[in-house]
Structure 1
Amino acid sequence: MGDSDHKGARTTVRTITDLARLAGVSPGTVSRALAGKSLVNAQTREKIVALAREHGFRPNQMASGLRRQKTGVIGVVIPLGHDIRQQISDSFFMTLLGFLADELTHEGYDLMLRRVVPDSDEDWLDRFIGSGMIDGVIVIGQSDQFERIEEVAESYTPMVVWGNHQEGQRHCVVGTDNRLGGRLAVEQLIAGGAKRIAFLGDTGPMEFAARFAGAQDVAARLGVAPVMPLATHLSPDRAGEEIAGHLAAHLRAQGGRDIDGIFAATDTLAALCLTELRAQGLSVPGDVRLVGFDDLPIARQTVPPLTTVRQDIAAGARGLVDLLLRRLAGETTESLVLPPELVLRETA
């Protein structure tokens, strides 16, 4: 049938998904071929480029087509490549989503939410933005998908990402200076007397890696032992058990404690850690000092209240929506990096 149906009507190609269907490949392959990526073999790339030329399709046509359609919907997607069992009900996601919904509603947009596991869905972002159902997209977290987001940003402009900023990156980011936040957390632990500090979390995702790097900066500068990484998942069904194991190994091991300060990658992990410390008969901040990250509502509700590094999630949501609307209007925007703030309470 080629590119016509049985009546000879010409196939309409408005999106990358349309072109992918015509070429018999995935939307991701089309995106990479049009961007000139060497990952696509020459024969396939030539076929896709020829079809795009034949149908008058340009890489940025997808964005302009969506603007013409004006669906009134903004896509919000959460990629969980780093921890596939993490839930959208996570307190951080729910807090940010609440602020985003408020901002988008105020601007006259509806929100379409998707949770994706990239390992089983390589073209998760291409298919979403090429669906024709959204005017633009907000990605919450880079997870382990930095390169995929970078590739899409080459040809799709109405996209803004909550995450960590790196010099030279193409995609537009709103997020906190995570490295500085890590420094603030460990400076406070050391100021309170901690000398053997652990980082509770996964150092793989970009935001957490930056927080851990900031913690190591301060440990090296102030002459204490390097911060010890304690790998911990974010999914609640695993995190509690893993934290209990870490504490048993490092705080109850025969021969004494080798940790007197803990910097948790999130407030949720810090709250779980606080519960487990109490269960093991250890006091905070008497036996162990503890600092979280985010300043979620739970940080004020723990016993004792949690010392944490605040990232302004409400300002972040406003920034995400503002930059996305400006990009939909054709502007080129810079990333927005928000300053973190240490919030002193009672755990450190």
Structure 2
Amino acid sequence: MSTDTTGAAPARPLVMSDVAARAGVSHQTVSRVVNGHPNVAPRTRERVQQAIAELGYRPNAAARALVTGSSRTIGLITIDVDQYGPAQTMIGLEQAARAAGYSLSVAILDRAGGLTIAEAVDRFVAQSVDAVVVHTAELQALEALEQVDPPVPLVAVQMGGEGHGSTVTVGQEAGAALAVDHLLELGHTTVHHLAGPSYSVEARRRIQGWRTALARAGAPAGELWLGDWWPSSGHAAGTDLAQRIRAGEPITAVFAGNDQMALGLMVALHEQGISVPGDVSVVGFDDVPEAPYFSPPLTTVRQDFAELGRRGVELVLARIGGEDGGSDLVEPRLLVRSSTGPARS
């Protein structure tokens, strides 16, 4: 029969009392520091945090949730993270949640089927999240959200739909108007629009802003084309556009629903010998990191996704704290670069 000759007792998991002993404070003080309670003196908090670091203590999230009634977790339901805007908004939400002491649990829905919004909400509720954020701009998601009434706060980010409780979004109509007004001020008689897909609330709101701005200026209605957010649809529209310009149609300004489609559009125009901005001025939407390096650099409407995420988490925390919440609007900003210029004579 073998025996243990080392004499060492098996290691036990670290607990809060170990941290308390190392820091020379009470168990309750350690609990307050771990759970982010504000009523702890700065020097005491620093001493406890140093003891935690020295010992390598990791709080048990499940046990903490039982004690505090909070999992310090926010559930995020999203679609289309392969697109720049949704991906950046998700990053902004995660960073803001982490700064507030929360973790983010993510459910990425597949438009082709699979998990529904209602099912994703139910799963998050079963995981004892403190709140749920729904981030998508799809019409079907808006309709599905109307049927969901979870027992935890629910906040919609970037959906922009009225009647959906607490929401935070970027002013899509205002952003489109910035693009149209800029082109009209350069002397273009009208502005044509390459929009996003019909299922997108954001695309529809940008269309509305484009139409309203033209009407307000007394400009004739421009033509509308539908794309799919990807450069390939912009390239197809640009190829058609070039042929029409060669045939003598007076098309001098295009507002693209996002920067990706604007890129495809400009590449096609270049391939067909149409100058940007000499023949056609182009404005995008989003301000992707590559936009200043397009050829020519792209004039675009900037959405502040980090600010969107920060305000979304602020709204979540307000709801968790018992406030009613409401709607919040992040204003877009026009960045003028070299893809726009005076209308050709």
Q: When the two structures are superposed, what TM-score results if normalisation uses the length of structure 2?
A: 0.71
Q: State how far apart, in whole Å, the 1-side matches of 2:318 and 2:259 are.
A: 32
The answer for unaligned runs of 5 or more in structure 2 is: 1-64, 341-345
**8 Å Cα contact 2:195/2:203 also seen in 1:** yes
Q: Residue deviations 1:128-185, cap 9 Å, x none?
A: 2221223322222231121211222x45552211225355x13311111211111111
Whether 1:76 and 2:69 are equivalent positions in the alignment is: no
Which residue does 1:179 correspond to in 2? 173
Match of 2:153 in 1: 158
Amino acid at match of 2:135: I
Q: TM-score, normalised by structure 1?
A: 0.70
Instruction: Give the conservation status (yes or no) of the 8 Å contact 2:86–2:136.
Output: no
> In structure 2, what is the Cα distance between the partners aligned to 1:164 and 1:89?
17
Determine if the alignment matches structure 1 residue 117 to structure 2 residue 110. Answer: yes
Letter in 2 for 1:146: L
Q: Contact 2:197–2:228 at 8 Å: present in 1 too?
A: no
Residue 278 (structure 1) aligned to one of 270, 280, 301: 270
- Equivalent in the alignment of 1:149: 145
Distance 1:250 1:304 in 2: 18
CA distance in structure 1 between the partners assigned to 2:315 and 2:67 by the alignment: 15
Runs (4+) off by over 4 Å: 65-69, 154-157
- Contact 1:311-1:340 within 8 A present in 2 as well: yes
Q: Does the 8 Å contact 1:220/1:226 carry over to 2? A: yes
**Paired amino acid for 1:187:** D
Report the secondary structure of 2:147's partner residue. Answer: helix
Using a 3 Å threshold, how does the CA distance of structure 1 residues 113 and 257 change in structure 2: closer, same or farther? farther
1:193 paired residue number = 187
**Cα deviation, residue 258, structure 1:** 4.5
1:94 corresponds to which of 84, 87, 90: 87
1:225 alignment partner in structure 2: 220
Q: CA deviation at 1:298?
A: 2.2
Identity of aligned residues (%): 27
User: One-letter code of the match for 2:319?
Assistant: R
Partner of 2:287: 295
**2:319 is equivalent to residue 327 of structure 1:** yes
How far off its partner does 1:119 sit?
A: 5.7
Q: CA RMSD in A?
A: 2.5
The structure that has the greater radius of gyration is 2
Structure 1 pair 197–159 and aligned structure 2 pair: CA distance change class (3 A) = same
State the alpha-carbon separation in 2 of the partners of residues 118 and 187 from structure 1: 35
For the 8 Å contact 2:118–2:144, the answer to whether it is kept is no
Partner of residue 108 from structure 1, selected from 101, 105, 129: 101
Distance 1:195 1:88 in 2: 37
Within 5 A, what are the aligned runs for 1:8-23? none
Write the letter of the residue equivalent to 2:272: Q
- Offset of residue 292 of structure 1: 1.1
1:245 alignment partner, one of 217, 236, 240 = 236
Letter in 2 for 1:209: R
Q: Which amino acid aligns with 2:325?
A: T
SS in 1 for 2:322: coil
Q: Deviations over 1:66-101 (max 9, x none)?
A: 99753333222223xxxxxxx523222232222222
Unaligned runs of 5+ in 1: 1-64, 80-86
Amino acid at match of 2:256: A
CA distance in 1, matches of 2:189, 2:66: 55
Distance 1:191 1:203 in 2: 28
- Once residues 289 and 304 of structure 1 are traced to their aligned partners in structure 2, the CA distance between those partners, rounded to angstroms, is 10
Query: Is the Cα–Cα contact under 8 Å of residues 153 and 320 in structure 2 kept in the other structure?
Result: yes
Shift of 1:255: 2.2
Contact 2:238 2:266 in 1 (8 A): no
Give the number of aligned pairs: 270
